[in-house]
Structure 1
Amino acid sequence: MPRLLPADCLNEIFEYFEKDKNTLYSCLLVNRLWCEVSVRILWRNIWNFQYGKYGIFYMPYQIRILMSIINTLISCLPNESKELLYENGINFKSKKSLFNYASFCRVLSIHGIDQMIQLVLRKQQSTTSNYQKNLLSQEILKMFMNQVSSLRSLDIYSGYSKEIILDRFPGAKRCLNYLTEFKCSSDIDPKFFNQISRICHNIQILNIKFGNDTSDGLAELISSQNNLKSVTLQNYYTTTDNGKKVIDTLKKFSSTLIKLKIRKSYMPLLFISDFINLQELILSSDYYGGCNYFNQLQDVTFPQLKVLKFYTFLEVEILIKFLEINGKNLRELYIRDENNSLNLAIAKFCPNLETLFTKFIDKEPETLKTILTNCQNLEKINFWCGYRYLNEKEFLEILTEYSPKNFYKLEMYYVFNAQSKLFSKELENFFIDWNDRTSKKLLSLVIIKDHESLSLEENDKNMKIIQSYMKLGFIKNFRIRKYENNHYLY
């Protein structure tokens, strides 16, 4: 009879699959022990199941998943909650739960619960009143507060806070006391912010989505924290006093904040200069000139800055000046612009890069050679294919000859309507030459595409070559990923 791995060993192994829900689900079906270990990890964050860009009602597979989750949560409700719901005309037929699933959760989305409740009621074609919907939501939240020993992350957005009184939930203080991540909209009812401010003082990651108004309780919440490390500000267009107060209050954490994201916002950026220990800065915008205020930072020194990502278009001269001051310490750089002078500046001022995302225009192979030669710590690069960018064959030949010894990961992004022109013989030559390099680090190849692109693997001969060299051990892994505009932001 084969010996079974003990639970603590299984737990350590399964932790590696925390984000791989399909693998964890398969582990549930092996035996009772595997089920007991994997279910705790699987339910740690049930909100990892994305709804899809067209909404949950157009995604049949995800609807089944969400229906299963909400029905399971309802089955976990204590008898007194089920009786209360029944007395108010809400009756769900649910099987007895094998586990107390809610107690495993460490991430809670109040918005997600509301969406699931709407889904399950719609599927039942119920004429449930708003009072009944709110009552069901309250009982589920009460269960979380009572059953979860220590919540790690909480998100709540507009329209879901007015009826929630956390202070009345047994166990709320214990559950939320060590909350480390909080996501919210700026216009939440001030009373809810006040409740969080009284209970939570250890939030390290704060994500604020600004709405039409900014609650006067938001700045108080920020001020009540002890060690804020990461902040995301999204859609900041407000000119209200409360909105400005939020920015001013953040300056309290000038020495502890190490990560700042500003997304789809139009705001002065001079306040960023106060965060002297900033290690990661991300700016994004959907329109040209979205970060016009960046010139306020061109002369500022950030001695700890290691990650810099710009998902917007900036004035090249200003960006080059910023890199001249701060480029030496950078380990990761994402630039949306396509400019040869900027790429040459990267090669000159950013010698310690490990990850680079930029664009190389056709007829600029020497610039790529310069970057690969000067950035000897480079491990990963993203290469754009199609349109007027450097062709695949030339790029791969340069990469083989000039890439640093630690280089191992190539991401090839095929732009809209791009068509691969790489022949199977050229691809095979690349793999052969790669294996002959002095460094024997195995290659990881990622294809990023949209549905209109014809990337290299769609050639059957190319795909057979890739599979063949994976079996030979020349390629560590090969993945195809759908392109999303914001996939680098998370």
Structure 2
Amino acid sequence: MMAHLIEDCLIVIFDELRKDPSSLYSCILVNRFWCRMAMPILWKNPLEFKSIFNKENHKFYNLMISLLPRTSRQLLFDDDIELSLPTISKQPLFNYINFLSIISPKFIDGMIAMLKNERREFNESQLEPEIYKLFINNCKNAKEFYWKTLQPISQYEGASSCFSKLRTLRIEFQIVTSTALFGMAQICQNVEELKIYNCYGDNSGLTNFIDIQKNLKSLCLTFKDSKNQSKQLSEVIERKASTLKKLVIKPFITSLSPKFLPSLINLEYLKLNDESYNANICEWKKYLSIASLPNLQYLKIKMITSWNYFELIEKSLGNILEIKIYRTHNQDPLCTEKLIETIAKNCPKIKKLTIDAELENLNGIKEIFSNCRQLRMINFSTNNDENLNCDKLLEILTNSSSKTLCEFYFIGNWNFTIEGLENFFKSWRNTRKPLLINMYTGEKNYLEDKYRNVVKKYYDEEVIKETNLLEYEGDVKFFVN
């Protein structure tokens, strides 16, 4: 019993050290028992340790290649591909691939590139399938896979064991065929997070693959263009609406019919990014206006045309934690005013806010600070082209915002006087935790020594936690984190 307790405790400790590879590696060197416990955790996702991986990737790839079975080695040898492994003197102690939770094309591409550098004349198409077979046949705990190959991976030995436990799958749609998707759907049916890149038009294999997933919670669709509307894809989203909690569509939302929107009653995260002037945007506005998302917590929208975002917010039942609405080219001032008013009335739990605002919206901003007492970050952008004094905004931040607010972003001509900045930082010093403040502006007055001296003074006093105005060089015209 004690032995099992010690083992369980060590696993918990080692898992806590997962983001500290140096300490975890030291644990491996203590004794064989610790090594056996810590090694699977260290090798769960080697790409997490970027600093180590980038320095030792050659050894890493050699170690992976050393695990190739004799049949693969002989096949490659017959095709005049000789594998030289100077850093591996004997068979590794562990089958490290068995520990991996992520299969990334970076592994495969890295191995091929390394061998290609060693031999100028090299047919990589001969090696790629053997490496995929190596990973698929040995990796029994894969939870994430980036599918970016023409290889018939679902037909390889071990595919069922490897892919049946996948929870996150990314698919490069321009490379993966409809036939391959039908094949994968036979063994991979428990995906919770699905990301499809470069979608275009309807595809029966993709529709079938999405349809067969038993508990799809997150779907991200990146479209190649907005020429063709994918009606079948829209219909399958509607069929999966009961389990979907997160939906991301970019950069052309009009590539989908929006008829599924009212069905997304359990959605918590919605991100829409549209960069087209497609006439179908009117259909989207119609369905967004009638959709009710009572569980919505994250709303992120970027559209070229103006739209009444506040309608979704009003129906969220006060559950929203973050709103990020990017400026449109023809934003209606009345919509901005209504949006700010709606946020103030309907978002008591909000923690992060990114919106457009002007000086005439200061009363509404004050209401947001008064009613949204959990706000931690705010990002204001403005279309103001004049050098107007914005010190009043700093006063509102000081006097009306909650103690939780400590991160600011100002984009555009938010012009503050020296006195305004001094009073703001002075008031902040004894009442709030250190702040992160970022100003992106085209105004040169922020570059003058007197402004930078103010920032430096309060940075040295640890009133300001982060800003790089102090690193200003040449004609850089903004504060940036």
TM-score relative to the length of structure 2: 0.76
The answer as to whether partners of 1:11 and 1:38 remain within 8 angstroms in 2 is yes
Between the aligned partners of 1:349 and 1:230, the Cα distance in structure 2 is 25
Between the aligned partners of 1:99 and 1:446, the Cα distance in structure 2 is 49
SS of the residue aligned with 1:326?
Answer: coil
Which piece of structure 1 moves more, 303-312 or 348-357?
348-357
Which piece of structure 1 moves more, 65-74 or 332-341?
65-74
The answer as to whether partners of 1:291 and 1:312 remain within 8 angstroms in 2 is no
| Cα distance, 1:198 vs structure 2 | 1.1
Q: 1:105 aligned to 2:100?
A: yes
Cα 1:343–1:118 change in 2 (3 A) is farther
Partner amino acid, structure 2, of 1:300: A
Q: 1:116 aligns with which of 107, 110, 135?
A: 110
Q: What is the match of residue 474 of structure 2?
A: none
SS of the residue aligned with 1:145?
Answer: helix
Extract unaligned runs of 5+ from structure 2: 1-8, 470-481
The answer as to whether partners of 2:436 and 2:467 remain within 8 angstroms in 1 is yes
Structure of larger gyration radius = 2
Cα 1:427–1:334 change in 2 (3 A) is same
Q: 1:141 aligns with which of 126, 132, 143?
A: 132
Cα 1:387–1:63 change in 2 (3 A) is farther
Which piece of structure 1 moves more, 271-280 or 32-41?
32-41
Q: What is the match of residue 320 of structure 1?
A: 310
Q: What is the match of residue 128 of structure 1?
A: 122
Q: 1:259 aligned to 2:252?
A: no
Cα 1:117–1:233 change in 2 (3 A) is same
SS of the residue aligned with 1:254?
Answer: coil
Between the aligned partners of 2:381 and 2:37, the Cα distance in structure 1 is 42
The answer as to whether partners of 1:229 and 1:258 remain within 8 angstroms in 2 is yes
TM-score relative to the length of structure 1: 0.74
The answer as to whether partners of 2:200 and 2:224 remain within 8 angstroms in 1 is no
The answer as to whether partners of 2:414 and 2:441 remain within 8 angstroms in 1 is no
Between the aligned partners of 1:299 and 1:62, the Cα distance in structure 2 is 50
SS of the residue aligned with 2:103?
Answer: strand
Extract unaligned runs of 5+ from structure 1: 1-5, 18-22, 51-60, 482-490
Q: What is the match of residue 459 of structure 2?
A: 466
Partner amino acid, structure 2, of 1:258: K
Q: Residues 177-215 of structure 1, C-alpha deviation per residue, up to 9 Å, x if partnerless?
A: 111111113452233212211111111111122445654
Q: What is the match of residue 352 of structure 1?
A: 349
Q: Residues 220-271 of structure 1, C-alpha deviation per residue, up to 9 Å, x if partnerless?
A: 2112211111111111657879x43232122222211111111112233221
SS of the residue aligned with 2:179?
Answer: helix
Cα 1:31–1:103 change in 2 (3 A) is closer
Partner amino acid, structure 2, of 1:88: D
Between the aligned partners of 1:277 and 1:325, the Cα distance in structure 2 is 13
Q: Residues 339-386 of structure 1, C-alpha deviation per residue, up to 9 Å, x if partnerless?
A: 441323322343432221113334543332121112223232224489
Between the aligned partners of 2:139 and 2:119, the Cα distance in structure 1 is 32
| Cα distance, 1:298 vs structure 2 | 0.5
The answer as to whether partners of 2:250 and 2:274 remain within 8 angstroms in 1 is yes
SS of the residue aligned with 2:356?
Answer: coil
Q: What is the match of residue 486 of structure 1?
A: none
Q: What is the match of residue 3 of structure 1?
A: none
Cα 1:353–1:391 change in 2 (3 A) is farther
Cα 1:248–1:364 change in 2 (3 A) is closer
Partner amino acid, structure 2, of 1:401: N
Between the aligned partners of 2:344 and 2:358, the Cα distance in structure 1 is 16
Q: 1:330 aligned to 2:320?
A: yes
Partner amino acid, structure 2, of 1:92: S
| Cα distance, 1:397 vs structure 2 | 3.5
Cα 1:459–1:134 change in 2 (3 A) is farther
Cα 1:420–1:364 change in 2 (3 A) is closer
Between the aligned partners of 1:200 and 1:44, the Cα distance in structure 2 is 21
Q: What is the match of residue 285 of structure 1?
A: 274
SS of the residue aligned with 1:146?
Answer: helix
Q: What is the match of residue 485 of structure 1?
A: none
| Cα distance, 1:284 vs structure 2 | 0.7
Which piece of structure 1 moves more, 298-307 or 388-397?
388-397
Q: 1:269 aligned to 2:244?
A: no
Q: What is the match of residue 178 of structure 2?
A: 190
Partner amino acid, structure 2, of 1:182: L
SS of the residue aligned with 2:204?
Answer: coil
Q: What is the match of residue 302 of structure 2?
A: 311
Between the aligned partners of 1:413 and 1:219, the Cα distance in structure 2 is 43
Cα 1:462–1:166 change in 2 (3 A) is same
Q: What is the match of residue 87 of structure 2?
A: 95
Between the aligned partners of 1:419 and 1:128, the Cα distance in structure 2 is 58
| Cα distance, 1:281 vs structure 2 | 0.9
CA RMSD of aligned residues (A): 4.2
Between the aligned partners of 1:327 and 1:456, the Cα distance in structure 2 is 47
Q: What is the match of residue 487 of structure 1?
A: none
Which piece of structure 1 moves more, 325-334 or 116-125?
116-125
Q: How many residues align?
A: 440
Q: 1:167 aligned to 2:155?
A: yes
SS of the residue aligned with 2:341?
Answer: helix
Q: Residues 85-111 of structure 1, C-alpha deviation per residue, up to 9 Å, x if partnerless?
A: 33322223342257544233212224x
Between the aligned partners of 1:258 and 1:10, the Cα distance in structure 2 is 32
Q: 1:367 aligned to 2:358?
A: no
Q: 1:297 aligned to 2:278?
A: no
SS of the residue aligned with 1:358?
Answer: strand
